[in-house]
């Protein structure tokens, strides 16, 4: 939620996304999700956490504990942006997007 709010501010402030009214074009509809995806791929792929993750003291790692890297970060983000995998989780509260990407959230 923290990351989505940050990406919304960026989308509205820099790219003219519409806040509180219908989008004027199809491109405006996808600005915030695109900024969210870019943030996730860039930050998780390099640092292992997004701004929201860092504020909450968590990071994304592979199951073996290694860093995620850009390829798995891209897969995880694609699944996350589709929303449905993030709404499905197991008994360990691990989302389907994490299970399919072979990643897990870990406390820092």
Q: What is the pTM of this model?
A: 0.86
pLDDT tens digits along 29-87: 788 899 999 999 999 999 999 999 999 999 999 999 899 999 999 999 999 998 878 88
Asked whether 36 and 81 are in contact (CB, 8 A), the reply is yes
Average pLDDT, the chain: 89
- Using alpha carbons only, what angle is made at residue 101 by residues 98 and 104, rounded to the nearest 5 degrees? 40
The helix-helix angle for 2-15 and 31-46 (nearest 10°) equals 120
Closest CA to 40 of 88, 79, 12: 79
Token readout for 89 is 């989780």
């Amino acid at each position: 939620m923290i990351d989505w709010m940050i990406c919304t501010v960026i989308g509205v402030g820099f790219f003219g996304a519409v806040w509180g009214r219908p989008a004027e074009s199809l491109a405006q509809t996808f600005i915030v999700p695109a900024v969210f995806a870019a943030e996730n791929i860039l930050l998780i792929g390099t640092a292992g956490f997004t701004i929201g993750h860092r504020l909450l003291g968590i990071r994304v790692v592979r199951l073996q504990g290694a860093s995620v890297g850009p390829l798995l970060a891209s897969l995880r983000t694609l699944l996350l942006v589709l929303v449905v995998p993030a709404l499905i989780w197991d008994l360990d509260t691990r989302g389907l997007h994490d299970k399919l990407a072979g990643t897990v959230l870990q406390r820092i």
